Amino acid sequence: MLTIDLHQLIRRLSPPLVTTLEDAAQECVRRHHRAVTPLHWLLMIAACRDLN
């Protein structure tokens, strides 16, 4: 099993991808009044990959 430090991964992501994650987080707040962060999105993606 691969272990990844997600905070370190976010720091290494390309700026356009970080912007996309931040935009998605803001859209979630707008639609669902629920605050999320880029880290939250990465955790959700990882969880979805584990289910498949």
**Residue 1: pLDDT over 70:** no
Residue 33 lies in a domain: yes
Q: Count up the domains in the chain and report the number.
A: 1
Residue 6 lies in a domain: no
Residue 7 lies in a domain: no
**Residue 4: pLDDT over 70:** no
Residue 24 lies in a domain: yes
In this prediction, what percent of the chain has a pLDDT beyond 70? 75
In this predicted structure, what is the pLDDT of residue 50?
56
In this predicted structure, what is the pLDDT of residue 49?
61
Residue 39 lies in a domain: yes
In this prediction, what percent of the chain has a pLDDT beyond 90? 0
Question: What is the tens place of the pLDDT at every residue in 6-24?
Answer: 677 777 778 887 788 778 7
Beta carbons within 8 Å of 3's beta carbon, 6+ residues apart: none
Range of the domain at 44: 18-51
